[in-house]
Structure 1
Amino acid sequence: MSKHSRNNDESRLVFSTDQGRIKEDKKPKDSVPETDGVVRVRPEKKGRGGKTVTVITGLPMSGNDLKGFAKQLKKRCGGGGAVKDGAIELQGDHVDTMVAELVKQGYNAKRSGG
């Protein structure tokens, strides 16, 4: 047998134009995470080389909404940051500033952790 033929026992299709799309990668839609209604703001140093990062969790939004909100908060504290695993991480210790800003915007925010 040639190496391009198919055995009934060992069929390993690499490419075919007659079957169309074989596997479709479907990403789940961004859904709003369930929270207890409290937005928690905490400082975090562990695993960050001694640098303090402000972590905000419990926001009732996800995806692009969360990224846009993170952009507003980064601008407010004048620093950088990122959105990771549904949490906003801001560079620097801005816990008190972020709690005040979130309360001003109508969220039930409180300081947690250290």
Structure 2
Amino acid sequence: MSQTRPVYSTEHGRLCPGCGQPINACQCRKGPAPTGDGIVRVRRETGGRGGKTVTTATGFLLDDEQLKQLAAELKRRCGTGGAVKDRVVEIQGDHRELLKAELEKRGFTVKLAGG
């Protein structure tokens, strides 16, 4: 007979496959798993930024540490500053085409979003 763990409890709901604790009390994961369809959407934004243009990329299925590392590499590639806020990579300036080419080279599925 195989050793299996339950994945759902009527008392606690979903259980973590790693530690067997309820998802809310899981000790083996640092944060919620990234969700989405796996398509990275790159768009240009100016609203609420004092007229400054910022290129944003969303939809990465990476953990927080990998996302920060990728953002640092993309900022270096574009030669500009930026940040990661709420799992959204922000790069200063209009770099949609450059980001699209770089992310596709790294194996991501990329769509240009917005106008």
State the distance in 1 between where 2:104 and 2:82 align: 20
Give secondary structure in 2 for the equivalent of 1:103.
helix
1:45 maps to 2:43: no
- Matched with 1:90 is 91
Structure 1 unmatched ranges of 5 or more = 1-25
Give secondary structure in 2 for the equivalent of 1:61.
coil
- Matched with 1:4 is none
The structure, 1 or 2, with the larger RCO (C-alpha pairs under 8 Å, 6+ apart) is: 1
Give the partner amino acid of 1:52: T
Structure 2 unmatched ranges of 5 or more = 1-26
Runs (4 or more) in structure 1 with deviation over 6 Å come to: none
Q: Identity over the aligned pairs, expressed in percent?
A: 52
State the distance in 2 between where 1:71 and 1:42 align: 18
How many positions carry a matched residue from both structures?
88
Give secondary structure in 1 for the equivalent of 2:83.
strand
Q: How does 1:2-41 map to 2 (within 5 A)?
A: 29-41=30-42
Give secondary structure in 1 for the equivalent of 2:43.
strand
Give the partner amino acid of 1:69: L
Give the partner amino acid of 2:102: E
Give secondary structure in 2 for the equivalent of 1:59.
coil
Greater strand share, structure number:
2
Across the aligned residues of Structure 1 and Structure 2, the Cα RMSD in angstroms comes to 1.5
1:103 maps to 2:107: no
Q: CA deviation at 1:37?
A: 1.5
- Matched with 1:64 is 65
Give secondary structure in 2 for the equivalent of 1:109.
strand
**CA radius of gyration, larger in:** 1
Give secondary structure in 2 for the equivalent of 1:68.
helix
Q: CA deviation at 1:32?
A: 3.2
Q: CA deviation at 1:72?
A: 0.3
Give secondary structure in 2 for the equivalent of 1:82.
strand
Give secondary structure in 1 for the equivalent of 2:73.
helix
